[in-house]
């Protein structure tokens, strides 16, 4: 997969995420207090996807046939732990007035995870 193709799809996924979260905030004003959390979460997942793309591209070309699999396993585990930490830190530091931040997080997590699986699968085939 070429970088330009990856970036085009990343922009598309980010646009879908913005519409989904923006729609949620529009329909449920109580969720709109978590705007900065939503932007920060999207930025973190965006950065993670970019890092995984370059790491996956390198691992797919590696002479070590297990490197790509190790990268996938490590990224899944790291993403789960990082996500949990992200949610707990937000809850403790921001003391949110409602729990809509969890819904926002899950929407973004699902969208970017589906995209991540898709592009990593394409990288593995190359």
- What residue ranges do the domains of the chain occupy? 3-125
User: CB neighbours (10 Å) of residue 55?
Assistant: 17
pLDDT at 46: 97
pLDDT level of residue 107 (50, 70, 90 thresholds): very high
Q: Does the predicted model carry a pTM greater than 0.85?
A: yes
Instruction: Quick: pLDDT tens for 39-98.
Output: 999 999 999 999 999 999 999 998 998 999 999 999 999 999 999 999 999 999 999 999
Distance CA 38, CA 44 (A): 10
Query: Radius of gyration over alpha carbons of the chain, in Å?
Result: 16
Q: Is the pLDDT of residue 126 over 80?
A: no
Q: Is the pLDDT of residue 125 over 90?
A: no
């Amino acid at each position: 997969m070429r970088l330009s193709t990856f970036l085009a799809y990343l922009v598309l996924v980010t646009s879908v995420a913005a519409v989904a979260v923006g729609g949620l905030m529009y329909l449920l004003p109580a969720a709109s207090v978590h705007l900065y959390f939503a932007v920060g979460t999207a930025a973190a997942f965006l950065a993670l996807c970019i890092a995984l793309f370059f790491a996956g591209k390198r691992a797919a070309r590696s002479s070590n046939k297990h490197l790509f699999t190790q990268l996938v396993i490590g990224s899944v585990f790291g993403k789960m732990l990082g996500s949990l930490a992200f949610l707990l830190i937000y809850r403790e530091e921001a003391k949110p007035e409602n729990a809509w931040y969890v819904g926002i997080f899950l929407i973004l997590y699902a969208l970017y995870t589906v995209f991540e699986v898709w592009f990593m699968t394409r990288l593995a085939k190359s």
